[in-house]
Amino acid sequence: MTGLTHLDETGSARMVDVGGKSVTARQAVAQGRITMSAQAAAAIAAGSVQKGDVLAVARVAGIMAAKKTSDLIPLCHPLPLSKVEIELTLDAEGVTATATAATAGQTGVEMEALAAVSVTLLTVYDMAKALDKRMTIGDIRLLSKTGGKSGDWHA
C-alpha cells in the first residue's frame, strides 16, 4: 500500500511482527533543548528551585520514560533496555538533554531515546515553571542509531 510497516494491506494500524528479525546490538541517541530565562537557568544552577534538584529529577524521569515507551507510544514494542543514559548540559539560556538507549533485540530503540529526551525536558519545565512560564521545548531529534537490518544512521 504505502510502504509503511505499521499499516496492513487495508490501511489499518498494526504492530509490526519482528519475530523473524535477528537479535542485534542496537543503540539510539536523541537530543532536545529547553530554553528559559537567565533567572530560571541561574536558579537551576544554584540548586535553589523550590521543588528540588531539577536536573537530578529530570534525569530519573527520562530514564523512567525510556523504560515505559511501549506504554506511551501505540504499536511500540516493549524492549529489555540494557542502557539508558541522560546527559544534561545547563547554560545561561537553558538545558540541552541527550539520551542514549541501548538493547540487544529485534527492533530499534529510537523511540525510547526520543521519549527519554521529551520527558526529561517536560520535567525541567514542570519543576521550573514557577520561575519562567515562557520556557520553550524544541529541537527534539534523533542524532544517531546503530544496529539492525538498515544499519547505522547519523544526523
Check if the beta carbon of residue 28 is closer than 8 Å to that of residue 112.
yes
What are the E-state strand segments in the chain? 24-35, 83-91, 94-105, 136-146, 153-154
Supply φ then ψ for residue 32, to 5 degrees: -160, 175
d(CA 54, CA 134): 17
Conformation bin of residue 141: beta by default, left when phi > 0, alpha when psi is -120 to 50 = beta
d(CA 124, CA 136): 11
Amino acid occupying residue 31: Q
Q: Which listed residue (8, 126, 132, 152) is catalytic?
A: 126
Active-site annotation holds for 126? yes
d(CA 125, CA 34): 8
Positions marked active-site:
126
